[in-house]
Amino acid sequence: MSGRDAILGKIKSNLDRPNDLESKQAIQNRLQAHQKNLIPQRGELNQDQRIALFCQEASRVNASIVELMHFDEIPAAVSEYLRTHQLPAKVKIAPHKDIASLDWDVNTSLMIEEGRGAGDDGVSVSMAFGGVAETGTLVMTSGPETPTSLNFLPLDHIVVVRAHEIAGNYEAIWERIRDVQTKRGCEGTVPRTVNWITGPSRTADIEQTLLLGAHGPQRLHILVISEATT
């Protein structure tokens, strides 16, 4: 008997469930319905409140946040960030149409490289799928325009998120991911990697002393863009 049959057989016989066929159907229905459970009150807010709570919660976990009106303000905001932290003028950006298409030469002498993350990347700029206000969380999805390695290899991670894509709660994001996948013709699937990122990397493994920048980025900088383009 295979390991699979042995394990499943033993579970079945120990459970002693009355009607297998009925249970199987009930479970298929439950999986397909993927109903929401209790959503905390603080995740149910209007758009202005959502953005305010998102910023408040993200700062609580040591992220820094700048609100911008338009996408074309991003290159200047990135240079400003590099100056503030006295970082080399070199940035790895996601090959995302809304970021790569920006005029990175304007006002700046930035060295821009496009692509996935590398071990010696200092600063990266990537595009969030959305945000979650209840905990100040960024949601990143993997894809041709949004390589996951950019979220983890650099020491400084700059993330662009659209204000109207900041949801109140995680459930709203799952719903949007399902919609996007369905529109792409991939109903019932998810991107290879979905990252919820809440603040920069940290550890307290040595004497419970909190230190930022364990293996991932030491700083997380969020650019919230109000402009409502898609």
Partner 1 sequence: MQSTSPNFTQNAKDALQDDPLQAALAKLTDGFPIQRLEAAARLPEFEDLRDEARDIKTHVLENLDLYLEAYEKKVVESGGHVHWCQTAEDARETILKICQNANAKTVTKSKSMISEEIAVNDFLEENGIEPVETDLGEYIIQLRDEPPSHIIAPAIHLSKEQVADTFRDAHTDLEKDRPLDEPRALLEEARAKLRTKFLSADVGLTGANMLIAETGTNVLVTNEGNADLTNNLPRVHIVIASIEKIVPTLEDATTILRVLARSATGQDISVYTTFCTGPRQLNDLDGPEEYHVVLLDNGRTDMIGSEFHEMLRCIRCGACLNHCPVYKSVGGHAYGWVYSGPMGAVLIPNLIGMEEAQHLPHASTLCGKCESVCPMRIPLPKMLRRWRERQFKAELGSTRARWALKSWVWLVKRPRIYRLAMNMSVAILGQIGFRGRFKSLPFAKGWTSKRDLAAPTGDTFLSQYHNGARGDQSGELIRRGGRK
Of 19, 30, 49, 56, the one binding partner 1 (CB under 8 A) is 30
**Type of residue found at 119:** G
- Binding-site size, partner 1 (CB under 8 A): 78
Among positions 89-108, residues that touch partner 1 (CB under 8 A) are: 95
Residue of 131, 199, 221, 225 that binds partner 1 (CB under 8 A): 199
In the complex, the smallest distance separating the C-beta of residue 183 from partner 1, rounded to whole angstroms, is 16
Q: In whole angstroms, give the CA distance from residue 172 to residue 146.
A: 21
Q: Which of 160, 99, 157, 152 is nearest to 131 (CA)?
A: 160
Report in angstroms how near the CB of residue 73 gets to partner 1 at its nearest. Answer: 26
Under the binding rule (CB under 8 A), the answer on residue 143 touching partner 1 is yes
Beta pairing class for 202-203 and 137-141: unpaired
Residue 206 sits in the site that holds partner 1 (CB under 8 A): yes
Token look-up 């303000």 returns 73
Residue 27 binds to partner 1 (criterion: CB under 8 A) = yes
Under DSSP, is residue 221 helix (H, G, I), strand (E, B) or coil?
strand
Dihedrals phi, psi of 209, to nearest 5 degrees:
-85, 125
Q: Which of 79, 124, 126, 148 binds partner 1 (CB under 8 A)?
A: 148
What distance in Å separates the CA atoms of residue 136 and residue 58, rounded to the nearest whole number? 4
SS3 69: coil
193 binds partner 1 (CB under 8 A): yes
Contact call for residue 211 and partner 1 (CB under 8 A): yes
CB of 163 to partner 1, least distance (A): 21
3-state class (DSSP) for residue 223: strand
101 and 172 Cβ atoms separated by less than 8 Å: no
Binding mask 55-84 for partner 1 (x = CB under 8 A): --x---x-----------------------
194 belongs to the binding site for partner 1 (CB under 8 A): yes
